[in-house]
Every structure is written in structure tokens, then in C-alpha cells.
Structure 1
Amino acid sequence: MMPMVYTVYGFAIFFMIAWICLWLIHIMALSYSKWKLHRTVDRSPPEQPYLGVSILKPLTGVDPNLFSNLETYFTLDYPTYELLFCVENEHDPAVMLVNSLMQKFPQVDARLFVGGLCVGVNPKINNMQPAYLAAKYPLILVSDSGIRMREDTLLDMVQHMKEDVAIVHQLPFVCDADGFAAVYEKVYFGTAQARMYLGADFLGINCHVGMSSLVRRCALEEAGGLAAFGEYLAEDYFMAKAVVSRGWRMRVASLPAQQNSGAKSVGALQARLKRWARLRIAMVPTTALLEPLSECLPLGAGAAWAAGELFGAEPLPFFLVHVLVWFLSDWLMLRSVQNGSPPITKVEFLLGWVWSECCAPFVLAAALLNPEISWRTRSYRLDWGGRAHELKPKLKF
């Protein structure tokens, strides 16, 4: 009987410690966001000229917002940069779009690379490899096709690139859009994703997301260059791990990345979340055990039971207060990431938040039950440690 009692109390103490730690992360991330995000970009002349930046833009197909997204890169307020567009084949409709932009902005140094170079299973790395080899500046910005840039974003990122820093990446966020899928996307990236991202950055944990990432080329070459990460699908995580292990630091920029995909749907976002969860599980298997404790509902249920066991508290009121305070904390986090009131009503936020929190455990369960990863038209299987194998390869470079 006594071992059973000790086991119950052991689990109760574990849940209470996890609950306290998550609330500390809430407080830390919210406070850090107020200090870190949306700081005024310094436009005064620098003591030393800013380093040149080679911007790699891997493209596959087009969506309704691609033209306007790419156009923002031709109007950046930065003294020295080049645009290197990468497509897998000459028949990609993005080719015509890129050519029209280069004709519209002939004063901008821009080139188009077609065909890629196979250095591994990661199609993004293969697509960018020729442009990376041809890049002429010491800073490399890898920027996904769906990212929209403010004119001062690149300047903000470069100003964070101190002498001991090798990677400056943006907090993933989204542009304003209409529809429930857009609300769901904004709630997820502005609350759960932002909280863990900012908390990890504050604590010095690798949280690198490569959708908009500025890298010091010499540091990347020390790790084997871009090709060294072609065997991974989560190339951003392993790139940061390799660079930081060599003594470099990594920082988050003050301006969040503005994802601006032209086609939004609940299913598409959940497919992305499942893919990312499968990658996290393969890279860090303990994710499958610990990640549910970062979610509001599973953690709240466990903490409510633990409070009843340890302190005699009523579980239901404890759980309801936990959920209410978590909800209010997430509203404040979204306002901080948005830099003001988000363009959604509180009712829309409530619906999006409830949907996001209720779906989170099922997304993780789906990732656990089906380890195969679908990425555009390709499928992959991951080994423990993160290395990937393509199933039925279709494309040869």
C-alpha cells in the first residue's frame, strides 16, 4: 500500500513542478517579448559599413500572394544586398514571375538559378545549393517564399549580428488575413509558438526556425557549408546546433517574420504542425513525453488532480481558473507579438484559441501514430536523430 501512495504523490509532485515551470515560462516569455520585439530600428550611419547580404529565395510554384511577397525584397532599405532566386526546373511558373520583377527593378542585383544541385534528400537545400555557391557576400539570408518583408527588416536583422553572433532568426508570425484559418494561424503563432520560441531564446535553447534566418557564411562553412545539412529535413535545427557548438551565439531579431501565404486552410496548417511534430520527435524523442505538458488542457488537468492530492484543493475550480488565466495570458502575448490590438475580435480569438488548444493533443498523437512525413509532392521517413530517407524519389537534379 505504501509504495502505491508514494507513487501517487510522486506523480502529483511531478505535475505541480511542471505546472509551476510552465507558468514561469509564461511570465518570462511575456516579459521578454515586451523588451525584445518591435524595437525601433537604428537608422543612424554606422561606424563601420554594414556587411553585404546574399538573400537566398527557394521557390516552388506560385500562390496569389507570391508576387507581392517577392516584391518587398526589391525595396529593402539596406545598402548592399543581392537576391538569388532558386527554382527546381525551368517550367516552374515562378520563373516568369521572377523575371518580371527583375525587369521591373533593374537597379537591384538579382539572379535566377534553375535546376538545383543534389547534395542530399532535403529539396530546399538542393534547390538553394547553386545559389549558395555563387553568393558573393559574407552574410546569407535564407528566406522562404511565403515571407513578406518590411523595408527595415533586413537592417534590423543585421544590427543583431554582433561579432560573436552567427545566426539571427525571426520569430515566426503571420500577416493579417480574413477567415477562420487565418485566425487559427494567428492564434497559434502568436501564443503557443511565440511563448515557447521566446522562452527558448531567453534560456539559450536551440529554437532556430529557418523560414527567415540570417547566417554568417564563415560560421556555416566551419560546419561544412549548406550541403552538410542536406541529409536532414529539419536543416535549420541541425545548422544552429552545429554553429552554436563551435562557440557562436544565436539571436532572435526584434521584428517577427511575416508569413503571407496566399492559400490558407485549417487542414494545411495542421499538416504543417504534424510535420513539425514528427521532426521534433525524431530529433528529440523525449518530446513525445514532455510536449503534452506544455499544452493548456493536459497540463491543467494534471495539475488540478495534483493540487487535490497534495493540498486538498477542488480539482474543477482549479482547472477552470488555470484555463481562464492561461487564456488571458495568451491574449496579452498575442497583443505583444502583434505590437498592438490584433485585427480579430475577442470572440474570434476565443474560438481560435479553443480550437487550437483542443487540437494540439490530437496533432501530437497523429504525429506519433504516423511517422511518415509528406512535404509538397514528396514523402519521407525519419530515423532517430533526424536523418531522412525519401520514399519513391521523383526528382533528380
Structure 2
Amino acid sequence: MAPMIYTLYGFAIFFFVFWCAMWLLHVLAILYGKFRLHRKIKELPPDVPYPGISILKPLMGVDPNLLSNLETFFTMQYPTYEILFCIEDEKDPSIELVNSLIEKYPKVATNVFIGGSTVSVNPKINNMHKAFEASNYDFILISDSGIRMREDTLQDMVGHMTETTGIVHQMPFTCDRPGFAATLEKIYFGTAQSRMYLSADCFRINCHTGMSTLMRKCVLVTKEGGLKSFGCYLAEDFFISKYFLDMGWRTRISSQPAMQNSGTCDVRSFQARLSRWAKLRMAMLPLVIVFEPLTECMVIGACAAWATSLLFRWEPVVFYLIHILVWLMCDWILLSIVQNGSLPFSKFDFIVGWLFRECTGPYLFILAVFDPSIRWRNRCFKLSWGGIAQEVKPRIKC
């Protein structure tokens, strides 16, 4: 009987300590976000020219916001850059859209690469490979199709590119859009995602997502194979960042978040995206299976309520409700910091969206555990431990 009691008390102490650590992350993310995000653009000294940047823009298909999103890349106030569009299918409707923008902005250096390559199992790497090889500048910006840029975004990212920094990436966030799905996305990226992203960046932990990433090309080409050497992973962004860190370079987030503005926004596709990311994290870092569920408000709150009832004889139901209320308030504060302005929904909408996200988060994680296959567009992949990907019925061998 005694060993069982000791075991219970051991679990209770673990859950209570983990719960306290999560609150420290809450406070850290709020303070670091206030300090780090939406700062004044760092101007380079007058005698230091702005470096040229090659923007790799992989495209596939057209959504209602693609034209306006792409146009923001043509109107940036930055002295020297080129846009390299990467389109795998020669019949892709985005080609016509891109050509119309090239005609509208003839002074912007552009090139269109159609057909992709078969150098890896990663479709994104295959799509970008030709453009990467043909890029003219020492800095590469990889930018997903759904990203919207401000006129000064490149200046902001370059301003954080110090002599010891190899990668500057934008923290994922979303543009203001109508509908419950858009509210849900903004709440997730402005709370759960931002909390871990800001905390990881503060401690210099690899938290890199590759939706908008500025990196030194010279570091990539020092690895045999260059960009294509990361094509055996689906989460190439994580392993690119890991390589930079292993080579002694720093990675940093810029002060402007990445403004996702996909024209296709629905709850099911968003949840599928979260589940896909969870599968990638589990394959890359197996301990995620144990610890990630404990970062969820509802899960760690229930564990902590049980732990404090055993350790301190506190009322578990009251503790749990107070825990949820304070967590919600902290998330509202963090979301407001990341938004840096008025939110496009009411407090009631926030509460509904927040509760939906927090209650479905553990469920999506469980689904990811029991279905490890990755579905990306019309293709399916399986992952081995360490993040190595293999396509089901592959087109190429990796």
C-alpha cells in the first residue's frame, strides 16, 4: 500500500510543478511579447546598404485572397529584391494570376519557375528547388502563398539579421477575417501558439515554422545538397533551423508576426492542419506524446486540481474553475498584445472560440496519435521516428 501512496504523491507533485511551470510560461510570453513584438523598425546605418533578397514563393492553386496577398509582395518598400514564383503544374491557374501582376508591376524583378523538380519526397522542396538554385542574392525569404506582407516587413526582418543571426522568422498569426473559423484561427495563433513560440524564442529553443523565413543562403549551401538535402523531411523548416543552430548561428523572430490570409477558411481544414502539425512534432520529438497534452488548459487544470486536492486538501472543482478563468484572462491579454489593436470580434465570441479550441485540442491530439499518416493535399505520407518521411505510393524515392 505504501508504494502506491508514494507513487500517487509523486504524480501529484509532478503535475503541480508542471502546472506552475505553465503559469511561468504564461507570464513570460506576455512580457516577452510586449517587449519583442511590434517594435519600431530598426534602420540600418547610412553607410550599410540593405542586402538583396530572393523571395521564393511556392504556389499551388488559387484561393479568393491569393491575388491581394501576392500583390503585397510587389508593393513592398525595399530597395533590392526579386520574387521567384514556384509552380509545379504547368496548368495551375495561379500562373495567369502571377503573369497579370508581373504586367502590372514591370519594375519589380520577377521570374516564374514551372514544373518543379523531383529531388526529394517533400513537395515544397521539389517546387522551390529550381528557384533556389537560380536565386541571385545572399538572403533567401521562403514565403507561403497565404502570407500577406506590409510595406516595411522586409525592413523589419533584415533589421533583426545581426552578424550572428542566420535565420529571422515571423511568428504565425492571422489577418482579420469574418466567420467563426477565422476567429478560431486567430485565437489559436494568438494564444496557444504564441505562448509556446514566444517562450521558446526567449530561451533560444528551436520553434521555427517556415511560412515566412529569411535565411542566409551561404549557410544552406555549406550543407551537401543545399536546400534539397532537407527534402527527406516534411517538416523541413524545423530541420533547417536545427542545422543553423548546430552550425553556431542564432535564430530570431521579427517584431511583425506572419499575417496568414488564406481565402479558404473553415473549421475542418483548420483542425486537419493542427492534427498534421501534431503528427510532425511527435515524429520529430517523441516526448511530445507525453508532455504536449499537459500544456492544454483543460488537461493540466484537471491534473493540477487532483494534485492540489491530494497535497493541500483544496477543493478540486473550485480550483479547476478558477484555473480556467485565469487562463482565459491571460490568453486574452496575450492575444491583444499579438494583435496590437482592436480585435475583430467581441469578448463573447472570444470566450466561445476559446472554449471550443481548448476543449477540442486534446481530442485532435488523440486523433493524431492513432492515425500517424500525413495527408497533404492529394498525397499521403508516413513518418519514421526522427521525422524522415516516406510517401505512400511514392512518385520518387527518397
TM category (shorter chain) comes to: over 0.9
- Note the 1:100-111 alignment, pairs <5 A: 100-111=100-111
Tell whether the 8 Å contact from 2:44 to 2:159 is kept in structure 1 after alignment. Answer: no
The CA deviation at 1:44 is 6.7
Equivalent residue, structure 1, for 2:227:
226
Equivalent residue, structure 2, for 1:251:
252
Q: State the SS of the aligned residue for 1:84.
A: strand
Aligned-partner Cα distance in 2 for 1:257–1:395: 32
The CA deviation at 1:356 is 0.3
Are 1:309 and 2:310 matched, yes or no?
yes
Q: State the SS of the aligned residue for 2:375.
A: strand
Equivalent residue, structure 1, for 2:74:
74
- 1:306 maps to a residue whose letter is A
Q: State the SS of the aligned residue for 1:221.
A: helix
Q: State the SS of the aligned residue for 1:8.
A: helix
Equivalent residue, structure 1, for 2:263:
262
Q: State the SS of the aligned residue for 1:47.
A: coil
- Note the 1:63-142 alignment, pairs <5 A: 63-142=63-142
- 1:248 maps to a residue whose letter is W
Equivalent residue, structure 2, for 1:391:
392
The CA deviation at 1:2 is 1.0
Q: State the SS of the aligned residue for 2:20.
A: helix
Q: State the SS of the aligned residue for 1:386.
A: coil
Aligned-partner Cα distance in 2 for 1:238–1:395: 21
Q: State the SS of the aligned residue for 1:14.
A: helix
Aligned-partner Cα distance in 2 for 1:363–1:86: 32
Tell whether the 8 Å contact from 2:271 to 2:364 is kept in structure 1 after alignment. Answer: yes
Q: State the SS of the aligned residue for 2:64.
A: coil
Call closer, same or farther: CA 1:267–1:46 in 2, change over 3 Å.
farther
The CA deviation at 1:45 is 5.5
Aligned-partner Cα distance in 1 for 2:257–2:46: 23
- 1:333 maps to a residue whose letter is L
Tell whether the 8 Å contact from 1:223 to 1:243 is kept in structure 2 after alignment. Answer: no
Q: State the SS of the aligned residue for 1:92.
A: coil
Q: State the SS of the aligned residue for 2:213.
A: strand
Aligned-partner Cα distance in 1 for 2:288–2:192: 15
Aligned-partner Cα distance in 2 for 1:378–1:46: 49
Provide the TM-score with structure 2 as the length reference: 0.98
Q: State the SS of the aligned residue for 2:167.
A: strand
- Note the 1:154-233 alignment, pairs <5 A: 154-224=154-224, 225-233=226-234
- 1:213 maps to a residue whose letter is T
Deviations 1:51-104 (A, max 9, x none): 100000000000000000000000111111000000002111011011110000
Q: State the SS of the aligned residue for 1:31.
A: helix
Equivalent residue, structure 1, for 2:35:
35
The CA deviation at 1:123 is 0.4
Deviations 1:115-139 (A, max 9, x none): 1111110000000000000001000
Tell whether the 8 Å contact from 1:36 to 1:254 is kept in structure 2 after alignment. Answer: yes
Aligned-partner Cα distance in 2 for 1:366–1:294: 17
Are 1:335 and 2:358 matched, yes or no?
no
Unaligned runs of 5+ in 2: none
Q: How many residues align?
A: 396
The CA deviation at 1:5 is 1.0
Equivalent residue, structure 2, for 1:284:
285
Call closer, same or farther: CA 1:45–1:78 in 2, change over 3 Å.
farther
- 2:254 maps to a residue whose letter is A
Equivalent residue, structure 2, for 1:300:
301
Tell whether the 8 Å contact from 2:168 to 2:253 is kept in structure 1 after alignment. Answer: yes
Deviations 1:118-164 (A, max 9, x none): 11100000000000000010000000000000010011001100001
Q: State the SS of the aligned residue for 1:263.
A: coil
Deviations 1:28-51 (A, max 9, x none): 011000000000113576331011
Provide the TM-score with structure 1 as the length reference: 0.98
Are 1:239 and 2:240 matched, yes or no?
yes
Equivalent residue, structure 2, for 1:24:
24
Q: State the SS of the aligned residue for 1:215.
A: strand
Runs of 4+ in 1 over 6 A off after TM superposition: none
Q: Percent identity?
A: 57
Tell whether the 8 Å contact from 1:142 to 1:214 is kept in structure 2 after alignment. Answer: yes
The CA deviation at 1:394 is 5.2
Aligned-partner Cα distance in 2 for 1:14–1:338: 34
The CA deviation at 1:11 is 0.2
Two-structure CA RMSD over aligned residues (Å): 1.1
- 1:181 maps to a residue whose letter is A
Aligned-partner Cα distance in 2 for 1:394–1:66: 28
Deviations 1:197-255 (A, max 9, x none): 00110011100000000011111112331111011000000000011101000000000
Tell whether the 8 Å contact from 1:12 to 1:307 is kept in structure 2 after alignment. Answer: yes
Aligned-partner Cα distance in 2 for 1:4–1:368: 29
- 1:392 maps to a residue whose letter is K
Q: State the SS of the aligned residue for 1:58.
A: strand
Unaligned runs of 5+ in 1: none
Aligned-partner Cα distance in 1 for 2:203–2:335: 21
Equivalent residue, structure 2, for 1:151:
151
Equivalent residue, structure 2, for 1:348:
349
Q: State the SS of the aligned residue for 2:79.
A: coil
